[in-house]
Amino acid sequence: MSVVFVASSLLPTPFAVFTMHGFLDEETGIEHVALTLGDVANGEAVLGRMHSECLTGDALFSLRCDCGFQLEAAMKAIAKEGRGILLYLRQEGRGIGLLNKIRAYSLQDKGADTVEANEQLGFPADMRQYDMCLPMLNHLGINAIQLMTNNPKKIAALKALGINVVERKPIEFGKNRYNQNYLATKAGKMGHLFGLQHQQEKSEDNTR
Ligand SMILES: Nc1nc2c(ncn2[C@@H]2O[C@H](COP(=O)(O)OP(=O)(O)OP(=O)(O)O)[C@@H](O)[C@H]2O)c(=O)[nH]1
Ligand SMILES: [Zn+2]
């Protein structure tokens, strides 16, 4: 995989003024983004999130999933810490793409769960790769991460790439009546770790 750095700029947000770094996968033409805050290259472990694109949740306020809430919570956590990294990975719909995700949602409207819907379309439940993370983190001088995730497969994939995940930080936000089944399937069929977050963090901000 040939992922190269292209350009950096400031990105003011309601939470902090991040620095935004753009990367290009020269083989596929896919553009990825990293947001950093503070000195992330000083050798100390960095609070981080590797967030896969979810146009519906991240930009269109969808309540079908928890993605947008997790994205906002991660940015807020990094802002609170004053230091951290968010990789925004352009692998929509766990890698099947936006239009196939809409096809999958259509099947879910008829009763399939999120895994069954992918399978009925001929895809595995999760097609994501995390290879692009390594060149992005290397470019930014980061070698150890406190990772915000509930997904043990994400941790395993990053570790397999040689990324030093020193700690997992739960990130449970955005539970609502529309994503109950989605979250239950994540926990039941995909091995996600739920229910371990501190009560205080839960009550902090569950809705936008
Ligand atoms: N195929 C499919 N993809 C979905 C569905 N709901 C959300 N997604 C995608 O699932 C991915 C979620 O990414 P993340 O939030 O980074 O990862 P995660 O595996 O949920 O793990 P966490 O780190 O615990 O959030 C995004 O690419 C979404 O577009 C769905 O019903 N079907
Ligand atoms: Zn989503």
Contacts by residues 92-98 (CB-CB < 8 Å, ≥ 24 positions apart) = 92/52, 92/53, 92/54, 92/55, 93/54, 94/52, 94/118, 94/125, 94/126, 94/127, 94/128, 95/52, 95/123, 95/126, 95/127, 95/128, 95/129, 96/121, 96/123, 96/127, 98/55
Residue 199: predicted pLDDT: 37
Residue 70 CA to ligand 2 center (angstroms) comes to: 9
Residue 94: predicted pLDDT: 96
Residue 201: predicted pLDDT: 41
- pLDDT average per 10 residues of sequence, the chain (208 residues): 94 98 97 98 97 98 96 98 98 97 97 94 95 97 96 95 96 90 85 62 44
Q: What share of the chain is helix, strand, coil (3-state, %, to 5)?
A: 35, 25, 40
Residue 94 CA to ligand 1 center (angstroms) comes to: 6
Residue 191: predicted pLDDT: 83
Residue 202: predicted pLDDT: 40
Annotated active-site residue 126? The verdict is yes
Residue 203: predicted pLDDT: 40
Residue 186: predicted pLDDT: 83
List the catalytic residue out of 64, 66, 103, 128: 128
